[in-house]
């Protein structure tokens, strides 16, 4: 099993609480609507454009909401859902655990190297964490995602360009230009920054082959 980063311990308790309150729904993972969730999935899955038969790691999968979106694409899918929260994984297994080519785990060591690694929303809730420590966690996680992927990664984050009066102290607003630059210098030269959709976040798409 993983040794949980101390910066994530309060977040684990938070996700356990909201899942218990809202169940396997967008609210149960901190999103405010199905529409926004689906819009984010579309941006993230642009990394798969032109691909049919793929293996995907859903890094921070929650209750597996991305899986039906991926299954709607043409071709075969080998899906690995990974989350630190055991309650989320159990909810995902109840909903999707019997589907062929579907795997869920809380153990990072069980993950294979897949074609793509995708993460939705895992950088948003810092709670009481120091912003510098959260930034370090974010960059380390990007590196970990890249180590798991052969062809590409995609992730999103709240943007530092958000309206000041709408920002919250418990959320982390990343600098999209800094994250783009980090991925360009440390992961691959083929990086796209998507910041043209009507949400207070951005998506990074990295192709590695």
- pLDDT digits over 27-39, tens only? 656 666 788 989 9
Coil/strand/helix, residue 58: strand
C-alpha to C-alpha distance for 55 and 37, rounded to whole angstroms = 21
Level-2 CATH architecture, domain 6-207:
3-Layer(aba) Sandwich (3.40)
Per-residue pLDDT of 40-98, as tens digits, reads 999 999 999 989 899 999 999 999 999 999 999 999 999 999 999 999 999 999 999 99
Helix (H) or strand (E) holding 119, with range, is strand 114-119
At residue 1 the predicted structure's pLDDT band, cuts being 50, 70 and 90, is very low
Put simply, whether the predicted model's pTM sits higher than 0.85 gets the answer yes
Taken in order 156, 162, 164, 166, is the CA torsion positive or negative?
negative
Q: Following DSSP, what letter does each residue of 65-101 receive, concatenated?
A: THHHHHHTSSS-EEEEEE-S-HHHHHHHHHHHTTSTT
Per-residue pLDDT of 131-189, as tens digits, reads 999 999 999 999 999 999 999 999 999 999 999 999 999 999 999 999 999 999 999 99
């Amino acid at each position: 099993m993983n040794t949980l980063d101390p910066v994530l311990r309060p977040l684990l308790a938070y996700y356990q609480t909201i899942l218990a309150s809202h169940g396997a729904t967008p609210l149960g993972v901190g999103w405010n609507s199905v529409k926004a969730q689906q819009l984010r999935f579309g941006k993230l899955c642009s990394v798969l454009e032109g691909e049919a038969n793929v293996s995907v790691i859903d890094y921070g999968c929650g209750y597996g909401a991305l899986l039906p979106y991926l299954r709607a694409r043409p071709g075969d899918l080998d899906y690995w859902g990974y989350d630190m929260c055991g309650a989320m994984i159990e909810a995902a297994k109840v909903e999707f655990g019997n589907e062929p080519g579907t795997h869920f785990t809380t153990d990072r060591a069980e993950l294979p190297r897949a074609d793509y690694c995708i993460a939705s929303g895992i950088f948003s809730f810092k709670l009481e964490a120091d912003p510098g420590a959260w930034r370090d966690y974010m960059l380390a996680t990007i590196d970990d995602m890249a180590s798991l992927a052969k062809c590409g990664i995609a992730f999103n984050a709240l943007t530092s360009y958000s309206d000041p009066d709408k920002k919250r102290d418990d959320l982390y607003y990343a600098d999209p230009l800094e994250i783009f630059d980090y991925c360009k210098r440390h992961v691959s030269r083929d990086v796209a920054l998507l910041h043209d959709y009507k949400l207070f976040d951005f998506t990074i798409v990295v192709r590695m082959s």
